C-alpha cells in the first residue's frame, strides 16, 4: 500500500468520455511504486544461475520466492520476493555483498491507463462525405510517409524485407488481415512471446504463454504503424515487409514492472531482432533507471532501440521518460500529422423506402447496432439547438429509433441528454457535428446506450429536413466490422508538421541531449484488434516511436551493417528542424532542441546523405561541467568532392522555471508555452568551411560561449543547430544543447508552494505541530490499518533526485530512542519504503504505519521526519549535497488491536 501513481505507461493519450477535446494532461507524478518485497538482481558472473543463486540465499537463511529467471546473453539475473519483511534491509545488504551479485534493485510497478483515439487540432470543417471517394489515403501518398521521406524510399523498392523488428507492448492481434492473419514462422508477426498472460496486473505473478494476442489494443496499433498492409482503409505501415516480433508485457488491464520489461528486451535481443521498439515510459529523467541501463546495454551491443520520449509536454522542460533516457537509446518525440484522418464506417439510408444512399458514420464505443432503424430528430424540427439543454426538455417515447442529436459542447454532449434518450426507450444515439474529431468517447459502456455514433452535419440536415416534412428516414448500419472502413483526411494547417504540444521535453536531469528525433505521432491511423473495431486513430509518442523503428528497418535494407550510434547520427543530421508551434500558432524561430532533438525524421535523406557525421548531438552540459570545446567529424561518403559551409543557428533559450520564483518548471498549455528568449550561446566553429574529396573526413572544432544575460536561477536551456550546407545541395544539421546554470542549484523540493509537509490518513491537509498519532498495532492487516490515522508525508518534487530519503528523527537528542548517524544526523530509521532512487518530478505521498525499511518498528516517542533529496550531480555520501526539509514534530504510539472507529478514508490524489 504505497503511493499510487502512473508510472510505466503506454504512451498513447487517453480520451475522456463526454468531453470536448483538449489533451488530457497526464499527471506528472513521481514513480515510487515499488512492489513490496520484490527485487531484481543481476549476477556478477557467467557461472551463477538462478538455481545456484537461490541455493546461496538458502545457505544464508534468506527466504525468497523466485519470480523471473533472466538467463540472457546480455543480462543474467533473477527477480524474487523476499519473505521476511522484518529483516528485509539486512537481507538486501547480504545479497548485495554476495560475490555472485553485481547489483540489486527494488522492482517498480505502475498502472496502465486506458488508451483511446485522440484527434489533434481538428479545426478544419467537416465536409460532407456522402458518396465521397473511398479514400484519399493511398499507399503512395500517406501523409505521414510523405512528411518523412518514407514514400520516396519506398518508391526505390525498400520495404523492410528481411528485417526483424521487435515490439515490446500489449501484444498484437495477429489475426488482423492487415497484419498477416497468423502468428509464427512465415507470418508477418513471426516471433515473440507473451511474458505475462491476460490476468497479469503488474503485482501478481506473470503466467507466460506462447500466444502474444493483444486484448488491450495499443500493441496492435503500434504494429500497424510499422508493418500494416491494409485495404479498407487503404494504407500501409512504414515497412510492410518486415517480420515483426512481439513481447507482451501487459495483461488486459493493469500494470507492468521493470523486471518484465528488462526480460522482454533481453528476449528480443536474443531472438536476433534488428530493431527493438517500446512505446512505454516511466516518468524518470534518469539514464540510471535499471530498465534504461538494460536498453542501453543492448544498444551498445549493436541493436538500435527506439523508446517514446513521453507525453508530458504540458509539464515543461526536464520531463523525459525512461527508458528513452538511456545512453544511446533513440528517444522519439512526436510531430502532428499534416492531415487529420477520420475513420468512417460505410452505411446506407433511405426515406420512405425509396432509393438508398450511402453515408459514412463514426462508431464510438459501444456501437452495438446492426440492421435498419428509423431516425428521430430530438429537436423535432426546431432550429434552436439550445432547447435540448433545458431542464424541462423531454423526448417522447421512441423505442427502436435512433435519436439524432446535435453535438454542441457540454450541453447536448453531456450525460443529461443520454439519460433522456434512455428514458424515452431508445438505445441508439447518432450525434452530428461540424468537427467530428472533437468527440472522443473513451468508452460509453454502462450508460444504457447500445450504440453511439456521429455523422456529418450535412447528412443530418438532409435527414431532419425530410423528417420535418413527415417522411420516415431509416438508416441501415452494420455492427462495425474491420473491413468496412474508409478514412477521410482534412488538412491540419494549425499544427500539422510541427512538434505536438504534448511531446515530452528533455534534456535528462544530467543535461544529456534528449530527444533524438521526432516523427508523426499526432492523429495516426493504424490497425486495432478486430474485436475492438479493427482500426483506430490514436495520438501520442507511442505512435511516433514505431514510425522511427520502421524507418530504421528501411535504412537497414540499404546498408550491410549499421551500428546504432551511426544510425542516430544519420537520423539526427538529416532530420528537418521545425519551427516552434505552441499548439495554436507557429513562431518565427525553431523549436528548442529540448523539445525536438534533431527535428522531423527524414529517412530518405538519412539513406542518401553523402556527408556523414560521427556524433548525433553536442551537449555542453551545465555551467559547472561546461564543455569548453567539442568537436565532430564529417566524412564525404560520396564519389565527388563536396564543400560544406559550416555555420550555426540558435533555437533561442527556454527558461525551465517561471519568472515568479516558483521552483516548479513552467507548464505548457496550448497557446501558453514556457518562456523562450532569443539570447543564446555564441559558437565559434573552425574551420567554417570544409572541402572534402570523395572518402575524405575533416574535424570541426566547436567552442561555445554560453549566454550571460540570462537569469541563471530560472535554469535557462539554450541550444541550436550547427549547419553544414554542401555544394551538392545537401543541408545537414547537428543539434547542440546546454544549460546556463549550475544544475546542482536546482530546487528539488517545492517548499515555495508548501508542497512538502506531513499529513495524516484521515485528512489531506497538514497536521499541527505536536500532533499525536496512534498507529495501527504492529503487523496489522491492511484492513485494520485503515482504522488508524497514521502519518502520510507528502512532497512535490520540482526536480528529480537520484536518492530520496525520509528519515525519522527523535526531537530530543538525549532521549532513550536508539539512533544511528546517517549523513550527519542521528536518525531512528528510514521509514518504509525509503530511500527511493531515481525519482522523477511531480507529487508523491506515502502511507506510513511505523515500520522502518529494515523491517523493525519505530519506538513510541516524539519525532519529526527529515526529507532529504540528493541534488543533481550530488555525491550520495556527502550530507551537504542533499536538500532537506523537516516536518512538524509529532508523537507516536501504537493502538490496541481492537480499534472500532472506521472513519471515511481520506481522499487521495496529490498529483501536481
Ligand X SMILES: *[C@@H]1O[C@H](CO)[C@@H](O)[C@H](O)[C@H]1NC(C)=O
Q: Which of 47, 97, 131, 392 binds ligand X (CB under 6 A)?
A: 392
State the catalytic residues: 169, 218, 542
Nearer to ligand X, 350 or 623 (CB): 350
Nearer to ligand X, 99 or 157 (CB): 157
Distance of alpha carbon 352 from alpha carbon 330, whole angstroms: 59
Q: Are 310 and 282 in contact (CB under 8 A)?
A: no
Q: Are 680 and 750 in contact (CB under 8 A)?
A: no
Binding flag, residue 365, ligand X (CB under 6 A): yes
Binding flag, residue 353, ligand X (CB under 6 A): yes
Q: Are 475 and 372 in contact (CB under 8 A)?
A: yes
> Contact letters (x/-) for ligand X, 99-118, by CB under 6 A?
--------------------
Nearer to ligand X, 454 or 758 (CB): 454
Residues 425-454 that bind ligand X (CB under 6 A): 443, 445-446
Query: Which triple of cell numbers denotes residue 98?
Result: 554476495
CB of 786 to ligand X, least distance (A): 26
Nearer to ligand X, 17 or 101 (CB): 17
Nearer to ligand X, 382 or 727 (CB): 382
CB of 344 to ligand X, least distance (A): 12
> Contact letters (x/-) for ligand X, 474-493, by CB under 6 A?
--x-x---------------
- How many residues touch ligand X under the rule CB under 6 A: the total is 27
Binding flag, residue 157, ligand X (CB under 6 A): yes
Residues 824-843 that bind ligand X (CB under 6 A): none
Binding flag, residue 139, ligand X (CB under 6 A): yes
Distance of alpha carbon 241 from alpha carbon 528, whole angstroms: 19
Nearer to ligand X, 158 or 721 (CB): 158
Binding part of the chain for ligand X, among 118-126, 226-234, 269-277, 814-822 by CB under 6 A, reads 226-234
DSSP per residue over 623-641, as a string?
A: STT---EEEEEEEE-SSS-
Binding part of the chain for ligand X, among 120-128, 230-238, 538-546, 574-582 by CB under 6 A, reads 230-238
Residues 369-388 that bind ligand X (CB under 6 A): 372, 383
Residue 664: phi, psi to the nearest 5?
-85, 130
> Contact letters (x/-) for ligand X, 333-352, by CB under 6 A?
-------------------x
Q: Which of 71, 84, 161, 434 binds ligand X (CB under 6 A)?
A: 161
Nearer to ligand X, 486 or 852 (CB): 486
Binding flag, residue 464, ligand X (CB under 6 A): no
Binding part of the chain for ligand X, among 35-43, 168-176, 232-240, 719-727 by CB under 6 A, reads 232-240
Binding flag, residue 205, ligand X (CB under 6 A): no
Distance of alpha carbon 179 from alpha carbon 717, whole angstroms: 43
Query: 317: alpha, beta or left, given left = phi > 0 and alpha = psi -120 to 50?
Result: beta
Nearer to ligand X, 142 or 681 (CB): 142
| 202-205-206 Cα angle (round to 5) | 75
CB of 14 to ligand X, least distance (A): 11
Binding part of the chain for ligand X, among 142-150, 470-478, 631-639, 899-907 by CB under 6 A, reads 470-478
CB of 51 to ligand X, least distance (A): 41
Alpha helices (H) along 149-245: 150-155, 218-227
Distance of alpha carbon 48 from alpha carbon 255, whole angstroms: 30
CB-based contacts of 692: which residues, under 8 Å, 6+ apart? 611, 634, 635, 636, 641, 642, 643, 644, 698
Q: Are 417 and 441 in contact (CB under 8 A)?
A: no
436 SS3 class: helix
Binding flag, residue 138, ligand X (CB under 6 A): yes
Q: In whole angstroms, how far apart are CA 161 and each of 142, 222, 223, 557, 562?
A: 20, 18, 16, 7, 16
CB of 360 to ligand X, least distance (A): 13
DSSP per residue over 73-86, as a string?
A: TTEEEEEEEE--GG
Per-position b or e across 343-361, b if 16+ CB within 10 A of its CB: bbbbbebbbeeeeeeebbb
Residues 517-536 that bind ligand X (CB under 6 A): 532
Query: Which triple of cell numbers denotes residue 18?
Result: 463526454
Q: Which of 69, 100, 234, 811 binds ligand X (CB under 6 A)?
A: 234
Strand duo 618-621 + 731-739: pairing: parallel
Nearer to ligand X, 53 or 452 (CB): 452
Distance of alpha carbon 477 from alpha carbon 60, whole angstroms: 68
CB of 209 to ligand X, least distance (A): 21
Strands (E), 83-210: 101-110, 164-169, 189-194
CB of 374 to ligand X, least distance (A): 9
User: Which residues of the chain form contacts with ligand X (CB under 6 A)?
Assistant: 134-135, 138-139, 157, 159, 161, 229, 231-232, 234, 240-241, 352-353, 365, 372, 383, 390, 392, 443, 445-446, 472, 476, 478, 532
Amino acid at each position: 500500500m504505497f503511493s499510487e501513481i502512473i508510472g510505466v505507461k503506454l504512451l498513447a493519450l487517453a480520451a475522456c468520455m463526454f468531453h470536448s477535446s483538449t489533451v488530457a494532461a497526464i499527471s506528472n507524478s513521481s514513480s515510487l511504486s515499488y512492489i513490496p518485497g520484490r527485487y531484481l538482481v543481476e549476477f556478477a558472473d557467467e557461472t551463477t544461475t538462478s538455481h545456484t543463486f537461490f541455493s546461496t540465499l538458502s545457505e544464508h537463511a534468506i527466504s525468497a520466492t523466485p519470480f523471473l529467471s533472466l538467463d540472457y546473453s546480455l543480462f543474467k539475473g533473477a527477480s524474487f520476493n523476499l519473505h521476511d519483511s522484518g529483516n528485509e534491509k539486512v537481507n538486501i545488504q547480504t545479497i548485495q555483498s554476495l560475490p555472485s551479485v553485481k547489483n540489486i534493485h527494488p522492482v517498480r510497478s505502475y498502472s496502465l491507463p486506458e488508451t483511446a483515439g485522440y484527434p489533434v487540432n481538428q479545426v478544419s470543417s467537416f465536409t460532407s462525405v456522402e458518396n465521397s471517394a473511398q479514400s484519399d489515403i493511398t499507399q503512395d501518398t500517406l501523409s505521414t510517409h510523405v512528411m518523412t521521406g518514407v514514400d520516396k524510399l519506398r518508391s526505390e523498392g525498400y520495404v523492410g524485407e528481411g528485417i526483424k523488428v521487435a515490439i515490446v507492448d500489449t501484444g498484437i492481434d495477429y489475426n488482423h488481415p492487415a497484419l498477416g492473419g497468423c502468428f509464427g514462422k512465415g507470418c508477418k508477426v513471426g516471433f515473440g512471446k507473451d511474458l505475462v498472460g491476460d490476468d497479469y496486473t503488474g503485482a501478481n505473478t506473470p503466467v507466460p504463454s506462447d500466444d502474444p494476442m493483444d486484448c488491450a489494443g495499443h500493441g496492435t496499433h503500434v504494429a500497424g504503424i510499422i508493418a500494416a498492409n491494409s485495404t479498407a482503409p487503404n494504407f500501409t505501415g512504414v515497412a510492410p515487409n518486415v517480420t515483426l516480433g512481439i513481447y507482451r508485457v501487459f495483461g488486459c488491464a493493469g500494470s507492468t514492472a521493470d523486471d518484465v520489461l528488462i526480460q522482454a528486451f533481453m528476449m528480443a535481443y536474443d531472438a536476433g531482432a534488428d530493431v527493438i521498439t517500446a512505446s512505454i515510459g516511466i516518468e524518470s529523467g534518469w539514464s540510471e533507471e535499471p530498465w534504461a541501463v538494460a536498453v542501453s546495454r543492448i544498444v551498445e551491443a549493436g541493436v538500435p532501440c527506439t523508446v517514446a520520449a513521453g507525453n508530458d509536454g504540458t509539464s515543461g522542460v526536464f520531463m523525459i521518460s525512461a527508458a528513452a533516457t538511456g545512453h544511446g537509446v533513440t528517444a522519439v518525440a512526436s510531430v502532428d500529422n499534416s492531415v487529420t484522418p477520420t475513420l468512417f464506417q460505410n452505411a446506407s439510408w433511405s426515406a420512405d423506402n425509396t432509393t438508398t444512399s450511402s453515408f459514412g458514420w463514426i462508431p464510438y464505443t459501444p456501437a452495438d447496432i446492426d440492421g435498419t432503424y428509423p431516425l428521430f430528430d430530438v429537436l423535432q424540427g426546431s432550429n434552436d439547438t439550445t432547447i435540448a439543454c433545458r431542464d424541462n426538455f423531454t423526448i417522447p417515447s421512441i423505442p427502436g429509433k435512433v435519436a439524432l442529436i446535435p453535438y454542441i459542447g457540454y450541453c447536448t454532449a453531456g450525460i443529461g441528454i443520454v439519460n433522456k434518450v434512455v428514458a424515452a426507450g431508445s438505445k441508439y444515439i447518432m450525434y452530428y457535428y461540424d468537427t467530428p474529431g472533437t468527440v472522443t468517447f473513451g468508452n460509453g459502456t454502462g450508460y444504457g446506450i447500445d450504440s453511439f455514433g456521429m455523422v456529418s452535419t450535412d447528412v443530418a440536415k438532409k435527414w431532419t429536413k425530410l423528417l420535418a416534412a413527415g417522411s420516415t428516414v431509416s438508416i441501415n448500419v452494420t455492427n462495425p466490422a474491420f473491413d468496412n472502413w474508409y478514412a477521410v483526411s482534412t488538412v491540419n494547417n494549425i499544427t500539422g508538421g510541427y512538434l505536438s504540444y504534448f511531446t515530452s521535453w528533455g534534456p535528462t536531469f544530467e543535461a544529456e541531449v534528449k530527444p533524438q528525433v521526432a516523427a508523426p505521432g499526432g492523429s495516426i491511423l493504424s490497425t486495432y484488434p478486430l474485436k475492438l473495431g479493427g482500426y483506430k486513430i490514436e495520438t501520442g509518442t507511442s505512435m511516433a516511436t514505431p514510425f522511427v523503428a520502421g524507418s530504421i528497418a528501411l535504412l537497414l535494407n540499404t546498408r550491410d551493417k549499421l551500428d546504432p550510434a551511426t544510425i542516430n547520427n544519420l537520423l539526427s543530421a538529416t532530420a528537418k528542424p521545425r519551427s516552434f508551434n505552441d499548439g495554436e500558432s507557429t513562431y518565427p524561430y525553431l523549436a528548442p532542441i529540448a523539445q525536438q532533438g534533431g527535428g522531423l525524421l527524414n529517412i530518405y535523406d538519412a539513406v542518401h546523405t553523402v556527408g556523414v557525421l560521427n556524433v548525433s548531438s553536442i551537449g555542453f552540459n551545465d555551467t559547472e561541467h561546461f564543455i569548453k570545446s567539442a568537436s565532430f567529424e564529417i566524412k564525404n561518403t560520396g564519389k565527388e568532392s563536396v564543400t560544406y559551409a559550416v555555420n550555426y543557428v540558435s533555437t533561442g533559450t527556454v527558461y525551465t522555471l517561471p519568472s515568479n520564483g516558483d521552483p516548479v518548471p513552467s507548464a505548457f498549455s496550448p497557446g501558453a508555452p514556457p518562456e523562450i528568449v532569443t539570447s543564446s550561446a555564441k559558437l565559434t566553429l573552425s574551420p567554417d568551411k570544409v572541402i572534402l574529396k570523395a572518402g575524405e573526413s575533416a574535424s570541426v572544432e566547436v567552442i561555445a560561449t554560453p549566454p550571460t544575460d540570462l537569469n541563471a536561477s530560472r535554469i535557462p536551456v539554450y541550444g541550436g543547430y550547427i549547419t553544414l550546407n554542401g555544394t551538392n545541395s545537401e543541408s545537414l544539421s547537428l543539434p547542440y544543447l546546454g544549460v546556463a546554470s549550475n544544475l546542482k542549484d536546482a530546487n528539488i523540493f517545492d517548499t515555495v508552494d508548501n508542497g512538502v509537509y506531513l499529513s495524516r490518513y484521515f485528512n489531506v491537509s497538514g497536521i499541527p505541530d505536536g500532533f499525536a498519532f496512534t498507529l495501527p498495532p504492529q503487523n496489522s492487516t491492511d484492513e485494520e490499518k485503515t482504522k488508524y490515522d497514521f502519518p502520510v508525508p507528502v512532497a512535490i518534487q520540482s526536480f528529480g533526485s537520484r536518492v530520496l530519503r525520509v528519515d525519522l528523527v527523535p526531537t530530543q537528542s538525549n532521549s532513550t530512542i536508539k539512533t544511528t548517524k546517517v549523513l550527519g544526523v542521528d536518525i531512528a530509521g528510514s521509514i518504509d519504503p525509503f530511500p527511493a532512487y531515481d525519482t522523477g518530478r511531480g507529487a508523491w505521498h506515502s502511507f506510513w504505519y511505523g515500520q522502518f525499511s529494515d523491517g523493525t518498528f519505530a519506538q513510541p516517542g516524539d519525532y519529526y521526519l527529515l526529507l532529504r533529496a540528493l541534488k543533481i550531480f550530488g555525491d550520495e555520501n556527502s550530507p551537504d549535497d542533499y536538500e532537506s526539509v523537516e516536518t512538524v514534530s509529532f508523537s507516536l504510539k501504537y493502538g490496541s488491536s481492537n480499534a472500532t472507529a472506521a472513519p471515511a478514508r481520506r481522499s487521495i490524489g496529490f498529483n501536481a
